[in-house]
Amino acid sequence: MSIVINTPNGQIGRPLSLRLLEAGRSLTVISRTADKVADLVKRGAKLVEGSTDDAAVLDRALAGAESLFWLTPPAHRPDFIAWAEETARTAAKAVKKHGVKRVVVLSSVGAQHGHGTGPVGALLAVEEAFKAVCPDVTILRPGFFMENFLRDLGTVAKTGSLFMPMPRDKRVPMVAVADIAAKSAQVLLDAGWKGHRYVGIQGPAHVAYGELESIFTEALGRPIRYVQVGMDDVRKGMSGAGMPAWMVDMFAEMYGAVIDGRMDPAEPRTPETTTPTSLAQWAREVLKPALEKAAAAAA
């Protein structure tokens, strides 16, 4: 019986798929484009071609499946919240129909508050959809993705600064996507857990935004400033970068939720929630090469 992954091409789904194949597990992947998963198919994965929001595609993929790993794709449409919730409910119907025994849902910190947290606002309904149909569901709630800082490459390269609306003393869990994939694989390969449970994925420490200056300065070998800006400036920056108005509104709402504490983790930090990659290590191994590549391309 196979494990089904609905997002095998993303920065979490791809390394997770490879880990499961390396562990010798039967894997089914859903992809709209066969070429993007050709390497996984070559390694033994079964492809169900089509969209993850297509009921017929989900029906084919989950027939005979033992487990499902469900990751809600990033916001890509104005009706994202409604779309993400309805897509999860469609998948949950297929889970129930085919008697899928276990579901692992990648959610987020802040999901416990539901709507009003930007794109995270869809995830409580996603969690509840699978809990309603499956007795064994693990909800993974990772913190702030370190990879999100890659969006700031151009600004850092030009100005040596990070411009964000969060107060300097605001502390959040920051986690590398490689560690999220590793934790996801660990949960999927562990046959021992039962019931409905929530597991945080929180990196090695909560990091204050003001601490980004010293961490990135040392890791990147160049002075980096953290500059707190107002929400109006954040909105102007996102609009200036070409974001559509609906996406600007969605991310502004999420930043507001971070500031007022609604994106704080519901799960306490424990050895189980703590993952190994520090922000400094990630900055040296991922951010610095990406910054150097961007600088070279601009030269």
DSSP per-residue string spanning 49-78: ES-TT-HHHHHHHHTTEEEEEEEPPPP-ST
Residues 132-160 have pLDDT tens digits of 999 999 999 999 999 999 999 988 988 99
Residue 299: predicted pLDDT: 63
Beta-strand runs (E) in 54-186: 65-71, 102-106, 136-142, 144-145, 161-164, 171-175
* pTM score above 0.85: yes
- Give the residue from 99, 20, 104 showing the smallest Cα distance to 64: 99
What per-residue confidence (pLDDT) applies to 296? 76
CB 123 within 8 A of CB 109: no
* Cβ-proximal residues to 148 (8 Å cutoff; 6+ apart), any chain: none
Ranges under pLDDT 70 in the chain: 298-299
List of residues 6+ apart from 137 with CB closer than 8 A: 102, 103, 104, 105, 127, 130, 131, 196, 197
User: What domains can you pick out in the chain, each with its CATH number?
Assistant: 2-144+175-201 (3.40.50.720)
Q: Kindly state the tokens that stand for 90.
A: 């469609």
279-297 pLDDT, tens digit each: 999 999 999 999 988 877 7
